[in-house]
Amino acid sequence: MDAAELDALLTPEALRLLDDLPALQSTGEVARAVSQLRAAGHSPDLVSAVVGQARLRVRAQAKFGPFAERMLFTRAGLEQATRLSIAARHAGRLRDAGIASVADLGCGIGGDALGFAGLGLRVRAVDADPITAALAAYNLAPFGSDVTVANARAEDTPLDGIDAVWLDPARRTAGHTETERVRASDYTPSLDWCFALAERLPVGIKLGPAFDRDLIPDDVEAQWISADGSTIECVLWSGRLARDGVRRAALVTRGQEAVELTAAADADDEPVRGLGAFLHEPAGAVIRARLIGDVARSLDAGMLAPGIAYLTGDREATSPFAASFRVREVLPADVKALGSALRARGVGTLEIKKRGVDVDPAVLRTKLKLRGDESATLIVTRVAGKRLAILCDRI
């Protein structure tokens, strides 16, 4: 999106057309909408802006639910925005710590600020990109004077009257469509600036889930978050936003349900043991937080192989922090022999999971030429230097 497209979009005519459009789910629906709007005499630029937003609103429903129906986005802004359910949890932590006002520095299209304002916090939001800041102002307008939005650099934002700061450093190149990740040394604002601020004020810093753990300061709480099966972020909490005695945390959410594992430090792994009757795959947040050992002990399980995040044991047990599978048998790892074995067992529907091996599940599934009415899970991994194909049933 450029300034001209933004100007075209932020008009009563464009917003009315956008709100009148139905959800555009398919390319055919998009084509019909374009044809109808052009036939009605609307300009190509206006039609492009309106239809593009309608498509983004459909995609945004996964993150923002019904709120997406009145929001505006860029493609990059939507991809990088915090989903509303997680933003609400961030906001809850601030509220529970007695925070009344927060500066959202690098607010993007306003995902986290929506969560903060929704819980009654006063928000001072800024973004260095003028188009993104304009969209954030539109998205946050329903909260009135409790939220201010400015086009400004985080480093230049006054923090007078602010109780806490939320930081989302730019971790990708600038742009509203295709962007690329940058090195931690090139984040904007810089990590040094963010960490220095965290020493003065209660701060939450949103980072990618694969953030280099060696760069995490010793005096903050690092919380990794998995949502609906995907590990989405790591948040560093400082000051009164960090919990006493907690330096590592794994928050696992599915829908509106959430469980959390916390510890004062990385957990020691359990020893490696031979394949048992059950396999367990810890949630990504647990793996990133290095709390696999705590989950293993709760399941009476050990590591299947060094450095590979599969657990195994003989006790039928489950954990909210891991997916569990009942082992059927070990099958040949060779693709041709594996396909024959699966067809002989009537397995036509196969979930394929892998760790420690260079396997593309979609390509492998095609090569296996599955047939049958049975369903199963295939776990492909490496143990003692050899590829292992384990046929399982998800519990």
HSE-up (13 A, CA, CB side) for residue 331: 25
pTM value?
A: 0.91
Residue 62 is predicted with a pLDDT of 93
Per-residue pLDDT tens over the stretch 95-121: 999 999 999 999 999 999 999 999 999
Domain 78-263 has CATH 3.40.50.150: yes
3-state secondary structure of 311: strand
Average pLDDT, the chain: 94
Which range, of 39-43, 108-112, 309-313, averages the lowest pLDDT? Answer: 39-43
Indicate whether 91 pLDDT > 80: yes
Give 175's pLDDT tier (boundaries 50, 70, 90): low
pLDDT for residue 177 is more than 70 = no
Q: What is the mean pLDDT of residues 121-144?
A: 96
- Please give the average per-residue pLDDT across 182-189, as a whole number: 88
Residue with tokens 């972020």: 233
- Give me the mean pLDDT over the 67-80 stretch: 93
CB of 89 within 8 A of CB of 258? Answer: yes
Quick one: how far is CA 113 from the chain centroid? Answer: 17
1, 176 Cβ separation under 8 angstroms: yes
Domain ranges, ordered by start, for the chain: 3-64, 78-263
Q: In which element (H, E) is residue 130 found?
A: helix 130-140
Q: In this structure, are residues 255 and 230 in contact, taking their beta carbons and an 8 Å threshold?
A: no
Average pLDDT over residues 254-263: 94
Buried b / exposed e along 227-251 (16+ C-beta atoms within 10 A): beeebbbbbbbbbbbbeeebbbbbb
Q: Per-residue pLDDT for 376 more than 80? A: yes
Closest CA to 1 of 150, 131, 178: 131
Structure tokens at 37: 């709007």
DSSP label of 168: -
- Tell which residue, 98, 128, 106, 104, has the closest CA to residue 116: 104
Rounded mean pLDDT of 15-19?
92
| Residue 126 scores a pLDDT above 80 | yes
Report pLDDT for 178.
63
pLDDT, residue 7, reads: 86
pLDDT above 90 for 260: yes
Show the tokens assigned to 124.
Answer: 């001072």
CB atoms within 10 A of CB 199: 12
